[in-house]
């Protein structure tokens, strides 16, 4: 008995040892992140620019501010897991600043300097913000209408043979077609480019949602229906309180795919017809060779897309809380 | 609340399924009357059509020929008075234990929280109300399924090998519990099983069925007092004769 105790004691010690040795570099990195940002700030401020770039001292102040925040976060113990990333971003920004703003090593005008990017956000934030709102509006309407109709079509396909008879061939004919292919037609048929963009986004998101809702409903264990039926369940109970919740995991796969498809459709619609939004902004920036603006729009768009995907996963985690395990975004 | 069981009448039932365009008979001319409050065990080789009989009684399917009636009225569709319990717990994974047990109340739109609490403690699941089905052990899941079946005081409980997948010890406990619930609530019970011992422990009547298509081979009244012991000489004698009938004279 005492023997096994001793062994387990040693195991625990081993584990805590490995944990400590694993913790040490993280702790060092954590203490390194703030000073590196401060050093980058000093470099930016003191090393003269190679050309006339705007906002150099403001950028230096921003770096210094972030450095101070990181230091504070380290002392209060907030910065642990993310410390390596904070350090890496600091080194990347410092390297970029030195390579371009101080030494002009990258081809211009495709590569701007960090100050150019900062300048875009300072001078053009209202247009960027408006573009973001416009894109979000276009996306929200198209995606929501598309998803809801996709779920409705999927339920119809899964639960009603007559609906399936008429709609399945249509789905097979239209669904696999990339919505982009309908773009020229849509801009001719639909009176406004905004509505045409919406129509295509609805198409893009409805198809995967419909197919996966249907597949989810088709694979529901028939015993679930038997259980509910022996208790006197109506058809609508079987559809909405048995089939639909059972199909939820698949429906969320469809919603995820549909969201990706609507992102693509959003950018294409905004680049080719809709005269507003982030896609339009990027198109415009590229036309004027305003590359920093293009990068800025790209950053905003990336934040928007990842934010929306995160939101979708949060909703999924809420609704599918009953699942044993799931992918964490 | 004490419920009274309902009586069942099956008259010359024929039933079968079309598999790959071939008609496969599953039930062949079964006539059977079950009185209110009986506990009938249907014994037979696996795949003989016992479960089909239960589905017909539940009203999930209509027989190809013949008539199924309860209390003299024909059975045309499922009814909450007749509840079927499966070999698998078939709990809905998206509902908690409590929500699963409340299923039939949600279906008829009348929640009775006190009744739910009562049945939860009756089957010994107190403290697990908020658990998800995947967190339960096999025995606990089957208890939840039992509670779900019994919550609305059905007058007939149809059991399709409900203990078939449990480990031997959990099985013993659940058999005792089933017996206690049947005594307390006096519903009629029809249980499909291929465990002769289980049938003799629980049933007032054991009906043996032939291999597919199912025909009634024998109908044995078990006139032994409860609480029966599995090594009771009379139980052993009955067990031997039933096994012999099912063609396992040398195997037991």
More confident residue, A273 or A228: A228
Overall fold of domain B8-93+155-245: Rossmann fold (3.40.50)
Asked whether residue A40 falls in the same domain as residue A69, the answer is: yes
Q: Is residue A170 part of a domain?
A: yes
Structural domains in chain A (count): 2
User: ipTM of the predicted structure?
Assistant: 0.85
Helices and strands (H, E) in chain A, number of each type: 13, 0
Q: Is residue A176 part of a domain?
A: yes
Instruction: Give chain A positions within 8 Å (CB) of B60.
Output: 226, 229-230
Per-residue b or e along B167-184, where b marks 16 or more CB atoms closer than 10 Å to that residue's CB: eeebbeebbeebbebbee
Whether the Cβ atoms of residue A254 and residue A212 lie closer than 8 Å to each other = yes
Whether the Cβ atoms of residue A179 and residue A200 lie closer than 8 Å to each other = yes
Whether the Cβ atoms of residue A254 and residue A209 lie closer than 8 Å to each other = yes
Residue A118, CB-side half-sphere exposure with 13 Å CA sphere: 17
Q: Are strands B216-221 and B205-209 parallel, antiparallel or unpaired?
A: antiparallel
Last residue of a domain, one of A43, A76, A108: A108
Which segments of chain B are extended strands (E)?
8-19, 22-34, 39-43, 65-70, 73-74, 82-85, 156-160, 188-193, 205-209, 216-221
Asked whether residue A73 falls in the same domain as residue A12, the answer is: yes
Question: Positive or negative CA dihedral for A242, A246, A247, A248?
Answer: positive
Interatomic CA distance for residues B238 and A307, integer angstroms: 70
Residues of chain B contacting A, Cβ within 8 Å: 55, 58-60, 78-80, 82-84, 86, 88, 90, 92-96, 103-104, 106-108, 132-134, 148, 152
Per-residue pLDDT at A2: 42
Q: Is A323 on the interface with B (CB under 8 A)?
A: yes
Asked whether residue A174 falls in the same domain as residue A285, the answer is: yes
List Cα–Cα distances, A237 to A157, A179, A232, B59, B99, in angstroms.
17, 35, 10, 18, 15
Q: Is A232 on the interface with B (CB under 8 A)?
A: yes
Asked whether residue A12 falls in the same domain as residue A152, the answer is: no
CA distance to partner chain B, nearest, from residue A239 (Å): 12
Q: Is residue A160 part of a domain?
A: yes
Asked whether the predicted pLDDT for residue A4 surpasses 50, the reply is: no
Q: What is the mean pLDDT of residues A80-89?
A: 89
Asked whether residue A142 falls in the same domain as residue A216, the answer is: yes
CB-CB neighbours of B53 under 10 Å: 28
Asked whether residue A229 falls in the same domain as residue A100, the answer is: no
Choose among B80, B56, B55: nearest CA to B151.
B80
Asked whether residue A287 falls in the same domain as residue A162, the answer is: yes
Per-residue pLDDT at A6: 45
Binned at pLDDT 50, 70 and 90, residue A23 comes out as low
Q: What is the mean pLDDT of each run of 10 residues along chain B (252 residues)?
A: 74 81 81 87 80 87 85 84 88 93 89 88 87 88 90 88 82 85 87 85 85 80 74 76 72 58
Whether the Cβ atoms of residue A175 and residue A210 lie closer than 8 Å to each other = yes
Q: What is the mean pLDDT of residues A78-103?
A: 90
Residue A325, CB-side half-sphere exposure with 13 Å CA sphere: 1
CA distance to partner chain B, nearest, from residue A226 (Å): 7
Angle in degrees, CA A296, A181, A139, rounded to 5: 45
Asked whether residue A82 falls in the same domain as residue A132, the answer is: no
Q: Do B92 and A246 touch (CB under 8 A)?
A: yes
- Give percent above pLDDT 90 in chain B: 11
Asked whether residue A87 falls in the same domain as residue A130, the answer is: no
Q: Are strands B205-209 and B188-193 parallel, antiparallel or unpaired?
A: unpaired
Asked whether residue A132 falls in the same domain as residue A248, the answer is: yes
Q: What is the mean pLDDT of residues A62-91?
A: 90
Which of A224, A226, A234 has its CB closest to that of B60? A226
Asked whether the predicted pLDDT for residue A304 surpasses 90, the reply is: yes
Last residue of a domain, one of A81, A108, A135: A108
Whether the Cβ atoms of residue B82 and residue B57 lie closer than 8 Å to each other = yes
CATH of the domain at A205: 1.10.3720.10
Which of B96, B104, B133 has its CB closest to that of A231? B104
Per-residue pLDDT at B249: 63
Q: Is residue A113 part of a domain?
A: no
Binned at pLDDT 50, 70 and 90, residue A16 comes out as very low
Domain extent at residue A56: 2-108
**What's the pLDDT tens digit per position in A274-302?**
888 899 999 898 888 888 889 999 999 99
- Enter the tokens of residue B88: 């698998």
**What's the pLDDT tens digit per position in A134-153?**
999 999 999 999 999 999 99
Instruction: Give chain B positions within 8 Å (CB) of A237.
Output: 107
Interatomic CA distance for residues B135 and B89, integer angstroms: 13
Binned at pLDDT 50, 70 and 90, residue A96 comes out as very high
Per-residue pLDDT at A10: 47
**What's the pLDDT tens digit per position in A194-248?**
888 899 899 999 999 999 999 999 999 999 999 999 888 899 999 999 999 999 9
Asked whether residue A69 falls in the same domain as residue A137, the answer is: no
Which of B78, B84, B133 has its CB closest to that of A232? B78
Asked whether residue A36 falls in the same domain as residue A162, the answer is: no
Instruction: Give chain A positions within 8 Å (CB) of B98.
Output: none
Q: Count Cβ atoms within 10 A of the Cβ of residue B94 and give its class: 0-12 exposed, 13-18 middle, 19 or more buried.
A: buried
List Cα–Cα distances, B224 to A317, B150, B234, B240, in angstroms.
55, 26, 8, 16
Say whether A21 sits in a helix, a strand or coil. Answer: helix
Interatomic CA distance for residues B157 and B184, integer angstroms: 14
Interatomic CA distance for residues B84 and B103, integer angstroms: 14
One DSSP character per residue, B86-105 reads: -SS----TTS-HHHHHTHHH
Which of A229, A245, A322 has its CB closest to that of B78? A229
Say whether A75 sits in a helix, a strand or coil. Answer: helix
Residue A276, CB-side half-sphere exposure with 13 Å CA sphere: 16
More confident residue, B12 or A267: A267
Per-residue pLDDT at A28: 81
**What's the pLDDT tens digit per position in B73-124?**
888 888 888 888 888 889 999 999 999 999 988 988 888 888 899 889 888 8
Per-residue pLDDT at A22: 53
């Amino acid at each position: 008995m005492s023997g096994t105790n001793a062994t387990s004691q040693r195991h625990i010690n081993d584990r805590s040892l490995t944990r400590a040795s694993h913790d040490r570099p993280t702790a060092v990195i954590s203490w390194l992140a703030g000073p590196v940002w401060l050093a980058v700030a000093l470099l930016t401020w003191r090393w003269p620019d190679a050309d006339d770039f705007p906002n150099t001292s403001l950028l230096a102040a921003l770096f210094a501010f972030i450095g101070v925040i990181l230091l504070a976060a380290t002392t209060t113990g907030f910065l642990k897991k993310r410390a390596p990333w904070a350090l890496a971003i600091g080194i990347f920004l410092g390297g970029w600043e030195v390579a371009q703003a101080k030494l002009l090593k990258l081809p211009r005008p495709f590569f701007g300097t960090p100050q150019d990017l900062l300048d875009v956000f300072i001078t053009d934030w209202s247009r960027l913000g408006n573009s973001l709102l416009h894109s979000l509006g276009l996306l929200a309407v198209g995606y929501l209408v598309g998803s809801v109709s996709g779920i409705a079509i999927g339920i119809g396909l899964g639960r009603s043979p007559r609906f399936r008879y008429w709609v399945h061939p249509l789905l097979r004919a239209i669904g696999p077609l990339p919505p982009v292919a309908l773009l020229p037609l849509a801009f001719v048929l639909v009176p406004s480019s905004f509505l045409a963009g919406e129509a295509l986004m609805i198409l893009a998101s409805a198809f995967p949602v419909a197919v996966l809702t249907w597949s989810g409903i088709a694979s529901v264990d028939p015993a679930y229906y038997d259980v509910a039926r022996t208790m006197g369940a109506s058809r609508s109970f079987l559809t909405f309180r048995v089939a639909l919740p059972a199909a939820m995991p698949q429906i969320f796969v469809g919603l995820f795919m549909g969201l990706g498809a609507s992102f693509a459709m959003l950018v294409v619609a905004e680049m080719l017809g809709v005269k507003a939004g982030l896609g339009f902004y990027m198109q415009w920036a590229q036309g004027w060779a305003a590359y920093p603006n293009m990068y800025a729009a790209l950053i905003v768009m990336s934040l928007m897309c990842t934010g929306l995907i995160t939101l979708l996963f949060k909703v999924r985690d809420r609704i599918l809380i009953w699942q044993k395990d799931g992918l964490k975004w | 609340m004490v419920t009274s069981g309902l009586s069942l009448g099956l008259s010359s039932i024929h039933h079968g399924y079309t598999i790959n365009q071939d008609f496969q008979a599953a039930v062949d001319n079964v006539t059977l009357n079950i009185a209110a409050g009986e506990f009938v065990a249907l014994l037979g080789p696996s795949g003989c059509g016992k479960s089909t009989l239960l589905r017909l009684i539940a009203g999930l399917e209509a027989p190809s020929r013949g008539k199924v009636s309860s209390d003299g009225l024909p059975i045309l569709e499922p009814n909450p008075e007749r509840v079927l319990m499966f070999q698998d717990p078939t709990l809905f994974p998206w509902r908690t234990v409590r929500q699963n047990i409340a299923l039939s109340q949600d279906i008829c739109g009348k929640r009775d929280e006190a009744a739910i609490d009562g049945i939860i403690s009756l089957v010994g699941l107190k403290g697990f109300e908020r658990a998800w089905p995947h967190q339960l052990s096999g025995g606990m899941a089957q208890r939840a399924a039992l509670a779900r079946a019994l919550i609305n005081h059905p007058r007939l409980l149809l059991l399709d090998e409900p203990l078939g997948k449990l480990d031997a010890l959990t099985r013993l406990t659940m058999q005792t519990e089933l017996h206690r619930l049947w005594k307390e609530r006096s519903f009629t019970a029809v249980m499909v099983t291929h465990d002769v011992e289980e049938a003799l422990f629980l049933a007032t009547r054991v009906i043996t069925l032939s291999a597919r298509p199912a025909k009634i081979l024998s109908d044995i009244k078990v006139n032994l007092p409860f609480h029966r012991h599995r090594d009771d000489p009379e139980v052993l004698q009955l067990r031997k004769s039933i096994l012999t009938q099912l063609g396992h004279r040398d195997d037991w």
